[in-house]
């Protein structure tokens, strides 16, 4: 079916555009929403992992030694090296860590305590700069929050998004440090490398772009096919409607089509209307003596005679059997008589008709203020009866 529709290639641009846009919105949402949710979920998993790394770093640290280093008067290089040693081993075991360090909070200001980059035993492929003992630290304005209060309360704090410096992109996690007396002794910081994570995210992004392009392409194709189908369906419905209001033999309106046309004509409220009922004289005799094929030919020939005799804007219908009707808006008695006379003349000179084939016509004219089709039809029928009783092949005008 769709192959035939594509071959025809006819559609309404409005339907195509509307359908394509609607499908694009739905398909893009189907593609993008899961990707956005999964990206957020992957970031949360990563943040959770970095938080666990920071907690492990805090667990390997000797909290009592770190507590001593919080007092600058107790600082010695030997004490610093002893406290730093487990963090150096921890950092060396995980190449995805940029920095491992500890800090202390003094009245809302933070200072570095330990930094693995300061150890002579630490080797890193990155040229790290070590932070000095009690060197001040200023958090970036975009990360300003109650992070120090959260860490002091025993929570592990992770930056909500990526950070970037000369070494690349990373996430930072801070976990509290406690000594053997369960006293808060500052916190450990871990800057975690995101090179692998960002490479995977780029791969997911490429997949998402491909999926998005496929969704948009699919929406165009489906929209085009639906537009073709919509046009074909409407075309078939219109054809079915047109055939349902037309007489199969003559192509004129049938009774249903006539009533629909008359209703529209009356709604336009013209000055006057005329109804002409045209009846083929002696059609039954023609059928009985010459056969129904000839009778059908007579009906078709009379229909042609009526069609070419009426004016533009007049409605012509075959009501069934040997009866035809003309409904003429903006038509007074003189105009209706002219139409009737043209029909009679055309039938008389129609070469396809048997010799002596005639029609009789009844006419009713009403002003719009009093126009009622049912009444007009009855009055025209009465006039038609008079025309037949007066000798046929003539027209008679109804007089109220």
Quick: pLDDT tens for 35-48. 888 888 988 998 99
Residues 175, 178, 184: CA angle, nearest 5 degrees = 85
- The DSSP symbol for 146 reads S
Alpha-carbon separation of residue 133 from 117, 124, 176, 243 (angstroms): 12, 20, 18, 96
Provide the percentage of residues in the chain whose pLDDT is more than 70: 96
- Residues 188 and 58 sit within 8 Å (Cβ to Cβ): yes
Residues 6+ apart with CB under 8 A from 279: 322, 323, 324, 359, 360, 361, 362, 384, 388
pTM as predicted: 0.57
Provide the greatest CA pair distance for the chain.
139
When pLDDT is averaged across residues 185-196 and rounded to a whole number, the result is 89
Residue 202: CB atoms within 10 Å: 10
Within the chain, all domains assigned CATH 3.30.70.270 are found at 255-397
Higher pLDDT, 160 or 101: 101
Higher pLDDT, 145 or 115: 115
What pLDDT, on a 0 to 100 scale, did the predictor assign at position 167? 65
* Closest listed residue to residue 5, CA positions, set 218, 236, 219: 236
* Burial (Cβ within 10 Å: 0-12, 13-18, ≥19) of residue 357: buried
Provide the percentage of residues in the chain whose pLDDT is more than 90: 51
Above 60 in pLDDT, residue 3?
no
- Residues 11 and 19 sit within 8 Å (Cβ to Cβ): no
What pLDDT, on a 0 to 100 scale, did the predictor assign at position 400? 59
What pLDDT, on a 0 to 100 scale, did the predictor assign at position 88? 93
How many angstroms separate the CA atoms of 156 and 55, rounded? 7
What are the pLDDT digits (tens) for 389-400? Answer: 999 999 999 975
When pLDDT is averaged across residues 261-272 and rounded to a whole number, the result is 88
What are the pLDDT digits (tens) for 312-345? Answer: 999 999 998 899 999 999 999 999 999 999 999 9
How many angstroms separate the CA atoms of 210 and 350, rounded? 72
Above 90 in pLDDT, residue 379?
yes
Strand spans (E) along the chain: 97-106, 109-115, 136-137, 157-158, 163-165, 168-178, 184-193, 272-280, 315-320, 323-329, 359-367, 395-397
**pLDDT band per the 50, 70, 90 thresholds, residue 227:** confident
Within the chain, all domains assigned CATH 3.30.450.20 are found at 30-199
What pLDDT, on a 0 to 100 scale, did the predictor assign at position 29? 87
What b-and-e string marks burial along 81-93, b requiring 16 or more CB atoms within 10 Å of the CB?
eebbbebbebbbe
**pLDDT band per the 50, 70, 90 thresholds, residue 5:** very low
When pLDDT is averaged across residues 258-272 and rounded to a whole number, the result is 89
**pLDDT band per the 50, 70, 90 thresholds, residue 207:** confident
- Residues 254 and 247 sit within 8 Å (Cβ to Cβ): yes
What pLDDT, on a 0 to 100 scale, did the predictor assign at position 2? 45
SS3 220: helix
E strand or H helix at 181, and its extent?
none
* Closest listed residue to residue 194, CA positions, set 269, 124, 98, 259: 98
- Nearest-10 crossing angle of helices 13-60, 77-93: 140
**pLDDT band per the 50, 70, 90 thresholds, residue 8:** low
- Residues 280 and 302 sit within 8 Å (Cβ to Cβ): yes
When pLDDT is averaged across residues 117-144 and rounded to a whole number, the result is 83
What pLDDT, on a 0 to 100 scale, did the predictor assign at position 204? 83
- Nearest-10 crossing angle of helices 292-309, 283-290: 140
* Mean pLDDT score of the chain: 88
Question: Topology of 255-397 in CATH?
Answer: Alpha-Beta Plaits (3.30.70)
Above 70 in pLDDT, residue 225?
yes
> 30-199 belongs to which homologous superfamily?
PAS domain (3.30.450.20)
When pLDDT is averaged across residues 45-66 and rounded to a whole number, the result is 93
């Amino acid at each position: 079916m769709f192959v035939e529709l594509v071959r025809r290639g006819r559609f309404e641009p409005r339907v195509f555009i509307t359908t394509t846009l609607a499908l694009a919105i739905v398909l893009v949402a189907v593609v993008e929403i899961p990707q956005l949710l999964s990206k957020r979920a992957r970031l949360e998993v990563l943040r959770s992992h970095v938080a666990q790394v920071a907690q492990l770093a805090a667990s390997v640290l000797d909290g009592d030694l770190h507590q001593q280093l919080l007092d600058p008067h107790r600082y010695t290089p030997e004490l610093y090296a002893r406290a730093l040693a487990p963090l150096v081993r921890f950092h060396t075991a995980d190449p995805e860590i940029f920095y491992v360090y500890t800090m202390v909070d003094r009245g809302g200001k933070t200072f570095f305590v330990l930094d693995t980059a300061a150890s002579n035993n630490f080797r890193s492929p990155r040229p790290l700069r070590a932070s000095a003992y009690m060197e001040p630290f200023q958090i970036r304005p975009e990360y300003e929050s109650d992070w120090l209060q959260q860490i002091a309360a025993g929570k592990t704090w992770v930056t909500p998004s990526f950070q970037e410096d000369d070494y690349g992109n990373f996430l930072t996690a801070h976990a509290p440090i406690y000594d053997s007396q369960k006293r808060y002794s500052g916190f450990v910081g871990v800057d975690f490398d995101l090179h692998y994570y960002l490479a995977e995210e780029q791969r997911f992004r490429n997949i998402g772009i491909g999926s998005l392009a496929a969704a948009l392409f699919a929406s165009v194709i489906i929209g085009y096919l639906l537009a073709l189908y919509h046009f074909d369906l409407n075309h078939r419905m219109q054809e079915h409607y047109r055939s349902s209001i037309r007489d199969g033999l003559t192509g004129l309106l049938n009774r249903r089509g006539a009533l629909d046309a008359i209703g529209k004509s009356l709604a336009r409220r013209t000055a006057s209307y005329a109804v002409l009922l045209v009846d083929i004289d002696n059609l039954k005799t023609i059928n009985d003596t010459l056969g129904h094929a000839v009778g059908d030919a007579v009906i078709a020939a009379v229909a042609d005679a009526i069609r070419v005799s009426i004016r533009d804007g007049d409605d012509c219908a075959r009501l069934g059997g040997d009866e035809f009707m003309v409904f003429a808006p903006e038509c007074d008695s003189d105009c209706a008589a002219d139409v009737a006379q043209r029909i009679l003349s055309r039938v008389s000179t129609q070469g396809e008709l048997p010799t002596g084939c005639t029609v009789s016509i009844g006419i009713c004219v009403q002003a719009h203020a009093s126009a009622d089709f049912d009444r007009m039809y009855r009055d025209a029928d009465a006039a038609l009866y008079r025309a037949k009783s007066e000798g046929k092949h003539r027209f008679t005008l109804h007089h109220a």
